[in-house]
Every structure is written in structure tokens, then in C-alpha cells.
Structure 1
Amino acid sequence: MISQSSIEQVFETARVEEVIGDFVQLKKSGSNFKGLSPFSDERSPSFMVSPVKQIWKDFSTGKGGTSVSFLMEHEHFTYPEAIKYLAKKYNIEIEETVQSDEQKEQANEKESLYLVSEFANTYFQNILHKTDQGRSIGLSYFKERGFTEETIKKFDLGYSLNEWQAFTDEALKKGYNIDYLAKTGLTIVKEDKRFDRFKGRVMFPIKSMSGRVLGYGGRILVADKKAAKYVNSPESDIYHKSNVLYGIYHAKQAIAKEDNCFLVEGYTDVIQFHQRGITNVVSSSGTALTPQQIRLINRLTNNITVLFDGDAAGMRASIRGIDLILEQGMNVRVCGFPEGEDPDSFAKQNSLEELTDYLSSNSKDFIQFKASILFEETKNDPIKKADTVRDIINSISKIPDPIKREIYIQECSRIMDISEEVLFTSLAQIGNKEAQDASSKPKQQPKAFEVIKPEQKVKKVDVQYLLERKLIESLLLYGNKVEDFEDLILKENAKGDLVLEPVIQQAKVFEKIFLDLQDDEMEFSNSHFKNIYFTIIDALNQNPDFELKTFINTIDYDMAYEISSILMEDERYGLDDWERMNIIPKKKNDGVAQLVSETILTLRCFLIDQKILEFQKETMQNKTQTNRNILEEVKEYSGLKMLLSRKLNRAL
């Protein structure tokens, strides 16, 4: 267990915009930051981070909370793991108490898979550096590739002994469950036999964006025609190869800073580039590029530069990936290396300056690249040239932005020497064909006697819920603020008539809300709000120096989630850049007293209406009986409603 003092130190130090900035590209928006949601597939920002309140909100999914809750949602950390991650990020030494065996057993299966993978990572590194076989075979291989000790340790490179079950035996000896060893794919279990999957291979741990080990890539070093050169971990609950990019953990900050991501094919390409000094580079780990991997990059930047080997196979692989990237609305550049070279060998043979200059000079926009490669192959064959043009137009059709599409059509017209009209016609034909294909899909007809579900009615607005939510928000934002509250008191004038006279009373916002609700014996109908209300009132009573950031960090996860949703609701309007259009929304704190008073009065009016409705129902159910008491109460409530409406300056 982590000590409370360590948790408090982590919360005091961590900055939500810095933590989330490691995973999402954030852009300044007034006093807040905004970006694309990391929890959904979107092209317009709906994710907002508030440095002032130290909370975040994802309007596309409804998720929200603190820096800890973000890590729990995004990286599937447990609460202690999120604290440890932040402590490591901010170089905070944490105090821990020893866990009992019972507490260890309570860890869920997914967490157990992570623990097994982390153990394997440490084991393979120890074998590489501390055994004769590891040093003579594994370490020698990495040194031959030109990797320094610093680089080898940075990427946690390792070695698996060339023995059938050396790793498995050691893991079982340390108390790790054979089921989890099998589920991670580290051990192959066949009937009563057990084998190390990565026997005799150098090991490349594959990490998540937060640095957790998800799986491994292993390269064999001995000549064996029956064995694959590279073997990857199989799919598991923690490793899905289509969702992972090798090197993303080490590259994420550089990608966001440079606003560009270099995409290569292999593990050693990534490592060699890092060692040379270019760190905004990731790899698809030898698998075909997937939309999920592209979206992972899209959280950090909108620009991808695809680097490919200087051979025909490398070019074709790059061309296949371009359309996928375009479909995600991203900007694509392509850079090839001289024949016989790949990113690994080229980075190894050139200095940082030479490598940087080469990438800058030889990176082409996708249409220039595609046109130059394909046009060179087909320049003497009109039929093939026509096919090349269609291929390029098909790529352009993948781009969701119509402005970009038009610019690329103009560029294609210039390069291929074909009129824009013809190209636009071809583009329109592709669009029409896709629309026809979509419409030609047979629609399911309702079966005979099948009950068709009626259309859902518009959800009725829950007025009381909204008003209670607004009171919670006022307590959180302005609870300790002293305001002059104007109230209208019934007094008798010189003529003997009752009139409303204004009276100014100074009070803290939380005192005003608490006393008014208590006077009218009003309670929150929403159980969550009721719990939050009393928690806030208690905190404000006990702590004159109440701070929202500190308060959020001391409450439980569910309450923090609810509170962040309440506080960030108004930040939704910051996503639309109203100020850029010279529309300046009025700040809430310009009229806190009025906001609080009107919310309480409106809630009173609503509850009176509810009470009158109850009396009406009771009267309808007892038509034969005349209940004078009910009529008197309705009259009194109606009079009170009239008085409150006059206070609100509303006409009934």
C-alpha cells in the first residue's frame, strides 16, 4: 500500500495538462487546452483540459476526472499504478507498506498478465548483461548493429537463453502462475510439456504509450530454415498488435513537440534513429499498418512521414499504407532511401546533420511521391499512365477534407499534365460509385408479424436535476466567496399595504445555499448530488482555505468523475472558439450572487409546482369529497409562487 503522504505529494506535484500531454496533442484554447478524444474516433476536438481546475472532460464519451483517473481510463491502470506512474514521472520517492498474500491474490487477471510481462522484461535484461551466453551472443549482436550500452538499456533490450524452458522454470520458481505465462505467450504449453517461445532470441519489449510491457518481438540469431526470423507475442488481453506501435513510449513527447511522426518498418530502424538523435519515430513492428495505429499517432500530431527501404517491396508497402493514413484526415509525406539502404543502415552511416538534411530534402508530399514513382514506370505506355492517374485519384478520394481534395487535384493536374475538369469528373465518379454501392446493399425487411420498435420519444428535461447540478457547481466554484445577496422582504408601508423591500445581506456562497435550503427544508432528490453536497459543505466548514484541486484529489473516484463532469460542462463552449469570432461569453463570476439567488428561487418555484400538482391529483382521486384543507394549501402555495416570481421578476 502507498502511504497517504506520498499520494498527497504526487497530487500536489502532478499537472493534468502535462500528464495528458504525453498521450494527446493539446492546443491552447483560452485558459484551457483542447484536443482530439483519445477514447473515440473523431476529427473535431471534443476533449478539454483545465489547468486551473486540474481536471479534464471528454465530451464525446462523457468521461472526465483528474490526472489519476485519466491514467486509469486510458492506460487501464489501477489506482496505485497511476500514483506510481506519476511518482516516476515527477521523480517522487514513494513510501509503500508490504502487501499481504491475500492482497496480492486480489489482483485481477489483466494485472497478472502485466506483472508476468514485467518480470520477463527484467529477466531477459539480466540474461543479456549477466550471463556468459547473453553477453557472448545477445550483447555481441546488438553491438554489431552499432547499438551503445545506453541505447540497449533505454529500450530494455534482452536475450532469451537457447534452452527449452530456462525462462519458464525461473518464472515458476519465482511463484508466477503457468496460466498467465501461457496467456502472455511467453510459454507454450502442449499437453504436459512446456517450452519457452523465444528460446535463443534477442528480445525487443513492446510497450504501451505509458511504458507498460505488452508483449515482445524476438529475433533468432542462429541459421535455422525451419524457424521464423522474427517471432512476436500472440494476441492476449493486454497485447493487440493492431493497436500498438513499437517505440511510441519513447517517441510521444518528441512527436508532439516536432508535430510530425516518422513511421518506419522495423524495431532496429526505430532504435538506430533514436541513437542518432531523431526520436519522433515509431514502427508498425513488421505488420501491415492499421487504422488503430494511425489514430494512435493522430492523438499526438496530424503529420506523418513514411520512411521506406530503397527497394521495390518497400515502395509498394508504403503506397498501400498511404490511403489508410489519408482516410484518417492526416497529412502524409513520404521519403525513400537509396537502393540497398534502409532507415537502420542509413542512420548508422550518417551523422545527425546529414540524416536530418536528407529527410528534409527528400521528403515528398504523397501525390508527388506517388506520381513520380508510378509515372516513371508508365511514361511510355498510355494505358498504364491512365491506370496510374486513376490510382492517384482514388487516393485523393480518401481525403475527408474537400479543400485538401481540390488542392491535390490541381497538383495532380500539374504533374500528370491532365486537365482539372477530367480529374474532377473521375473523382465525382468514384464518389457516386461508393454512394451507389452503399445504397445497393439490401435493407432488411421486417418479417411477418414482427413487432417494429417505435421511435424513441424526445427525452424530457429533468428540471430539478439541472437545478441541483447548478447548485453543486456554485458550491465548487464559489463556495468560499463572500457576496452581497439581495433579498426582497415583505414589509408594511405607511398605507398598511404589504410591499417587497430590498435587503442586502453579506454571506459566503456556501452559507447562503445551506441556510436557504435548510429554511425551506429542501433536499436533493438525486442521491449522488446529495452525497456530493454534504461532502462539500463539510469540507467548506472545516477548511477556510478550501481549494478545489486539493478537494478533488481527496475524494473517491466516482465522486471525482461526477464533479469533473459538472465543472467542465461550460468549457464545452471553448471548443468552438467563440472569441476568435469576436463573441465574448459573459463570465459566471461577474454575477455570482445573482446566479446563486436565482437558482435557489427557481428550485423553490419548481418544488411548489410539484406540490400543487400533487394536490390536484389528490383532488381528482377524491371527486366526491370536498377537502377544504387542500384548497387552502393550494391557495397558500400559489400565493408563495406569486411572491417568488416577483422576486425573480417573472410574469405568471
Structure 2
Amino acid sequence: MIDRTTVERILDAAQIVDVVSEFVTLRKRGVNYVGLCPFHDDKTPSFYVSPAKGVCKCFSCGAGGSAVHFIMRHEQITYPEALRWLAAKYNIEIQERELTDDEKREASERESMFIVNEWAKDYFRDIMNNDVDGQAIGKQYFRSRGIRDDIMQKFQLGYALPRRNALSEAALKKGYKEEFLVKTGLCYRKDNGELADRYAGRVIFPWFNVSGKINAFGGRLLDSRTKGVQQKYVNSPESDIYHKDHELYGLYQAKKAIVKEDCVYMVEGYTDVIAMHQCGLENVVANSGTALSIYQIRLLHRFTQNVVLLYDGDEAGIHAAMRGTDMLLGEGMNIKVLILPDGDDPDSFSRKHSAEELRKYIAMHQTDFIQFKTDLLLNGVSDPVKRSEAIASIVKSVSVIPNQITRDTYIRECSHRLQMNEQTLINTMNGFIRGDREDKAKELEREQRRLQNRQDGTTATQGADNGTATNGTELPRIGLHTVEEQSTEVERMLVQNIIRHGEEIIFDGLETEDGQTISLSVAQFIDYDLSQDGLHFANELHNRILAEAVEHNNDEGFRAETYFMHHPDVHISQLAGDLAINRYQLSRTLEMQHKPETLRQRVVHLILDFRMDIVKRHLKDIQIQLRQAGNDMERIMQLLQEQKETQLLRDTLARKLGNDIMI
């Protein structure tokens, strides 16, 4: 691992204008530089680079960050790889942190497995291109499927000889250990202990991980041998370097196109991916027969939040489209669905059409998930019970969407399409949301009990999302336990002030109850004020930033902006870079002088706004609960009292903010 001192040297040496200029033509505009954004089809310059802050940002598509983040996104590489890229550019020698014995052993084994897989990929390629049987059987099979030689090269396709020990013998002669041939899954041991090749007689599809390393293989029986055979494909077993629910076939070849198009097509199989690449559509991946997992969705979300599910029109294809919908929605993905004409899959369909024809067909026939589920579940349904179950299923899908505005938009659309009362759909959706929240709270409580039971003695546990402390008393959270917690613009602005000015003193000489005099920085004051009512940010990353700013506030030479821009957690450093730059920045002679008094007023006002947001959301939640209380008068009286107290709190905050009170 790269040691922290070397990381600091790399980050200090990397000049943002110098790095970006290798890929973007920049021209000076005021104290900043501007150019065409390399991450989307930019017609007018919207990509700004600030040499003073060391960050860049596109104010059209939002891409940006530090020099490291720019290289990560542009080259589609990981954080450590981007650091190494910059180290090479600035001739900085990489100093590796000394690994423990366990870390060394684990790293050595993983690297050995990657090396064996890389050799095997070349071995399969060599057999297909240079062996007589490889050319006559393997290459001929791919050509019969219409796959060109350049696409075979792009995906490094190969062929395994039918002899059951051909690969193992070749690997052992090259000096590769049996241990890693078995661990990678290239070979397995028979009952008599002999090694046998897993993929004998199959055409080979290597799996590349997101960094381009070979972590697995898929092998397919040839068409003449698949009749009556259930297992056409054999894939690598789970290993230290391959977890099938963490990987997506074709992502390495597709990732740059996904970023450029800001969209990904999800298909089912290897040949679907390959055929679409050959057709000219490269932003396509496959989960290859496994149920879509949360890990795969989050991996995709690094590149885009727009996904088109492109599946066969048969029952299996429709089922595949249905089963991943709610999980994708729950991770904030925007979903379109395209079911191809019955009898066609993406492979066969793309071979019949040019890239332009395929794009037009997709644009004309893709539907949003509501229309898809509506057509699928309600087409020809007249039975009231079945119809209500179908509508409930659609509303449940909407309920998992994390963004409230998106949810409201979909509910309005559902109301229009289904000819249902919008309030009825909202009440149903809120019921699903509360039920899901309660399930999560119960699961959290169960997990806390399990952890507590494993510990010696009694350990205080944090209250679950229901807002109760460990002694059973309710925390004064201004109703946070009944309000859906969302990261608001006000919260983001508070975090921006922590990053930009976290260490700056805004209260000096404050007298405490015991007569002592203290000073509070921006970060310390925000932390102190929120803690008085047990409040916290909705975004856990924001909470981490505040906690670390307070923790390091008294460190000598601490500057929050530099600290967070250079943070080892790429998510924090990316956010810091995003919040550190203004689109319009005056020259230094015209720039408004920064005063502690102005900063103090801004922070205090933002905290009041933050509290007001919480109170308003709580009042809305009470209104919903009142409508759902029915004839339960005891519950209604409790809610009315809670509403009265919350309104008084709202009125107090409004007076402090200088706003008119809106009843």
C-alpha cells in the first residue's frame, strides 16, 4: 500500500491545470480556467478549473474534483491507480507501507491467482488462434455466431482443448503451482486426486474486473454438444478474487462509453454484450444469469444512474426485468425497460440492425418502469382483487425510491395512468415506507442485541431509528424518528462551510456555566448546536466530515479544506473537491473581504434553516398520520398535541429567521 507521506507528496505536486491540460484545451477566464467538459457532449465551455483551490468542476454534468478524481474519472481507474499515474507524471517514487505478515500472504496469494488467470487467458487465446483444432472448432464457432476477429480480440475470447488435462499440464510445465490452478477454478481435483481442466472442449469468455485484471472465466459447450445438456455454461467458482454477485460481464470494456453516454444497457448473457459492441453500442453489461445484486448495482452507480433493462420478450426475459426493478430503484437508479419482440434476444436483434437503427428502436420502444409494470400486471385484468394487488405492487416499487421528489412525480404519474385518487396512492406508499423503516429498525435492534450478547459485560448501545436512548427515554429529536431523513440543500451548505471554513473561529471569548472562557470554530459550533437536541445529518458522509473536523480542529496547522481534499477516503475527498469551487470567482482585488462576523451570521442562519426543515417535515408527517388514524381518538389527541408543540417550535424558529409564519 502507498504510505500516507507519499500520498501527500503526490497530492501536493499535482497541479490541477497541468493535469487537466493533458486532456482538455483550457483558456484563462479571470482567476480560473475554462474548457469543454471531457465527460459529456459539451458544446459551450462549462468545465472550470481553479488553480487556487486545486479543483475542477463541470457546471453542466457535475463531474469534477481534485487532480486525482479527474484522472480516476477520465481514465476509469481506481484511487490507488490514479495516485500511481500522478506519481509517474511527477517522477515521485512510490513508498509502500510495510505490510503485516498476514497482509503480505493474502496479497501474494491474490496476485498469484491474477497471474495464473492472465496466463490462462493467453493460453486459451493462443490455442484458438494457432492450434489446428482451436482454429477449426473454437474460432469457427465464434465466426458462425457472426463475431468478427477484432471483437474476439477486444474480449480476449479463446478455446480450451477437449483433453481433460491439457491446460493443467501446460501450466505445471510453466512452473505454476497446483494450489493456484485449483483456487482460481481453472482446474479441480477428481475423486482419485488427479487434476482435471474445468473448461475442456469449451469456448472461453474471460471476465475482466473493473481494473482490467482477469478474475474469472466462462466456458460454453459448442452448439452440437448442447442438445439435452442442462449446463451449457460453466463459470469460475467463488474465490478470493471472484465473487459472481460483485461482477458484471463487459464492464471493463464498457465503462468509458457508459460515462460518456451517461447510460448503461443491462442484458443477460455474454453474447448479448459482444453482439451489441459489434453493432456499435458499447455501453452494455450483463449479469450473466445471476440475480442482480446490490453490489452490482452500486458498482454501476459509480459510472451512471441511468439503466435500460434490455431483455428477451419471452417469459424468462420478462421475469429477469421484473426481479431487479425494486433493487435498482432503491439505489436511486433511473430505470427504463425494453422487452424485445418475442423470438429475439439482444444478440440476434443487434445482428439484424445497424447501431443507428438499434438506437432509434431503443429510444422509441423503451418505457419507464411504471408503464412496464402497468402493462404487465394490469393488461386484461378486470378482477378487483387482482387489480388492487397489481396497483399495490406498483406503488411498493415507487416507495423504495430514495428521492422524495422523484417519488412524488411517479405517484402523480401513477394516479393519472391508473385513474386512481392520488391521496389514496400516497397513503398506500407511506404505509410501505413506514413498514420498511420499522423492519429496518427491528433488524438493527436484533443486530445490536446479537452484538451485545457476544460482548463480555454490558455495553451501551445506540438507540435505533425509533429515537430511543439505551435507558428507554426518548431523545429530543424534534420528531426526527418519524421523519424520513433526507440530505437537503441546507445540509449540503452547512457541510460546505465545514469543509471551507471548519477551523475558523466564529465565537471568541464565550463564557461557560462554570465561568471558563472558550472559543468555537465553525465545525465546533455546528457540532455543539446540533448535539443539544441529538440532531445529526441525514447523509452519513456528512456526519463523518463534521466529526473529523471537530476531532482535528486543535491540531497544529489544521486547515479543513486541505485536510478533506487530501482525505484517504475517495468519497470524502471527492465531495470536498465538489464543494470547494465556485463557478464565478472575482479577481482578488474585487473579492469581498472575508470576515468572521459574516461567516458567523451565515452559519447560525443555516443551522436555523436546518432545524426548520426538520420541523416542517415532521409537521407533514403528523398530517399524514392524522389522516390514517381513522376513528382512534386516543391516537388523534396524541397527534394533535404533538402538532401543537411542533407548530410552536416552528413559530419560534420562524421569528429567529425573520420569516413570516405560514400556518
Tell me which amino acid in the other structure corresponds to 1:339: D
- State yes or no: 1:318 paired with 2:334: no
Tell me which amino acid in the other structure corresponds to 1:348: R
Quick check: 1:207–1:247 contact (8 Å CA) kept in 2? yes
Quick check: 2:337–2:368 contact (8 Å CA) kept in 1? yes
User: Residues 434-467 of structure 1: CA distance to partner in whole angstroms, max 9, x if unpaired?
Assistant: 2333455666677899344599xxxxxxxxxx9x
Query: Corresponding residue for 1:434?
Result: 436
Quick check: 1:165–1:194 contact (8 Å CA) kept in 2? yes
For residues 230-241 of structure 1, what are the structure 2 equivalents within 5 Å? 230-241=233-244
- TM-score, normalization by structure 1: 0.59
| CA 1:572–1:390: 2 relative to 1, 3 Å | closer
User: Residues 588-623 of structure 1: CA distance to partner in whole angstroms, max 9, x if unpaired?
Assistant: 9999xxxxxxxxxxxxxxxxxxxxxxxxxxxxxxxx
Of 397, 400, 403, which residue of structure 1 is paired with 2:402?
A: 400
Query: Corresponding residue for 1:420?
Result: 422
Query: Corresponding residue for 1:200?
Result: 201
For residues 199-238 of structure 1, what are the structure 2 equivalents within 5 Å? 199-221=200-222, 222-223=225-226, 225=228, 228-238=231-241
Helix, strand or coil for the counterpart of 2:216?
A: strand
Distance between the aligned counterparts of 1:571 and 1:585, measured in 2? 24
Q: Which has the higher contact order (CA 8 A, sep 6+)?
A: 1
Query: Corresponding residue for 2:545?
Result: none
For residues 122-201 of structure 1, what are the structure 2 equivalents within 5 Å? 122-190=122-190, 192-201=193-202
Distance between the aligned counterparts of 1:564 and 1:409, measured in 2? 42
Question: How far did residue 151 of structure 1 move?
Answer: 1.0
| CA 1:383–1:355: 2 relative to 1, 3 Å | same
Query: Corresponding residue for 2:391?
Result: 389
Distance between the aligned counterparts of 1:106 and 1:375, measured in 2? 53
Task: Please tell me whether Structure 1 or Structure 2 has the larger radius of gyration of its CA atoms.
Answer: 1
Quick check: 1:23–1:252 contact (8 Å CA) kept in 2? no
Distance between the aligned counterparts of 2:39 and 2:195, measured in 1? 38
| CA 1:575–1:83: 2 relative to 1, 3 Å | closer
Distance between the aligned counterparts of 2:383 and 2:106, measured in 1? 69
Question: How far did residue 68 of structure 1 move?
Answer: 13
Helix, strand or coil for the counterpart of 1:108?
A: helix
Distance between the aligned counterparts of 2:292 and 2:256, measured in 1? 22
User: Residues 571-599 of structure 1: CA distance to partner in whole angstroms, max 9, x if unpaired?
Assistant: 8655347747x8x69979999xxxxxxxx
Distance between the aligned counterparts of 1:404 and 1:68, measured in 2? 29
- State yes or no: 1:450 paired with 2:457: yes
User: Residues 498-521 of structure 1: CA distance to partner in whole angstroms, max 9, x if unpaired?
Assistant: xxxxxxxxxxxxxxxxxxxxxxxx
User: Residues 535-594 of structure 1: CA distance to partner in whole angstroms, max 9, x if unpaired?
Assistant: xxxxxxxxxxxxxxxxxxxxxxxxx9999449x9998655347747x8x69979999xxx
For residues 340-419 of structure 1, what are the structure 2 equivalents within 5 Å? 340-376=343-379, 378-419=380-421
User: Residues 370-405 of structure 1: CA distance to partner in whole angstroms, max 9, x if unpaired?
Assistant: 1112121x4322221111100000000010001110
Query: Corresponding residue for 1:553?
Result: none
Tell me which amino acid in the other structure corresponds to 1:208: N
| CA 1:431–1:138: 2 relative to 1, 3 Å | same
Q: CA RMSD in A?
A: 4.8
- State yes or no: 1:49 paired with 2:65: yes
Distance between the aligned counterparts of 1:575 and 1:174, measured in 2? 50
Query: Corresponding residue for 1:484?
Result: none
Of 235, 241, 246, which residue of structure 2 is paired with 1:243?
A: 246
Quick check: 1:220–1:229 contact (8 Å CA) kept in 2? yes
Query: Corresponding residue for 1:649?
Result: none
Helix, strand or coil for the counterpart of 1:119?
A: helix
Helix, strand or coil for the counterpart of 1:263?
A: strand
Question: How far did residue 55 of structure 1 move?
Answer: 3.6
Helix, strand or coil for the counterpart of 2:324?
A: helix
Distance between the aligned counterparts of 1:270 and 1:300, measured in 2? 17
Distance between the aligned counterparts of 1:66 and 1:383, measured in 2? 52
Helix, strand or coil for the counterpart of 2:309?
A: strand
Helix, strand or coil for the counterpart of 2:308?
A: strand
| CA 1:28–1:322: 2 relative to 1, 3 Å | farther
Query: Corresponding residue for 2:284?
Result: 281
Quick check: 1:307–1:343 contact (8 Å CA) kept in 2? yes
Quick check: 1:264–1:307 contact (8 Å CA) kept in 2? yes
Query: Corresponding residue for 1:539?
Result: none
Distance between the aligned counterparts of 1:449 and 1:439, measured in 2? 24
Distance between the aligned counterparts of 1:391 and 1:266, measured in 2? 28
Quick check: 1:29–1:577 contact (8 Å CA) kept in 2? no
Distance between the aligned counterparts of 2:118 and 2:573, measured in 1? 42
In structure 1, list runs of 5 or more residues that go unmatched: 1-7, 36-44, 58-64, 88-103, 456-465, 471-525, 533-559, 592-652
Query: Corresponding residue for 1:337?
Result: 340
Helix, strand or coil for the counterpart of 2:195?
A: strand
- TM-score, normalization by structure 2: 0.58
Tell me which amino acid in the other structure corresponds to 2:219: G
Tell me which amino acid in the other structure corresponds to 2:194: K
Helix, strand or coil for the counterpart of 1:333?
A: strand
For residues 80-119 of structure 1, what are the structure 2 equivalents within 5 Å? 108-119=108-119
In structure 2, list runs of 5 or more residues that go unmatched: 1-9, 24-36, 90-103, 463-498, 504-551, 593-663
Distance between the aligned counterparts of 1:86 and 1:23, measured in 2? 24
Q: How many residues align?
A: 447
Query: Corresponding residue for 1:610?
Result: none
Distance between the aligned counterparts of 2:390 and 2:565, measured in 1? 56
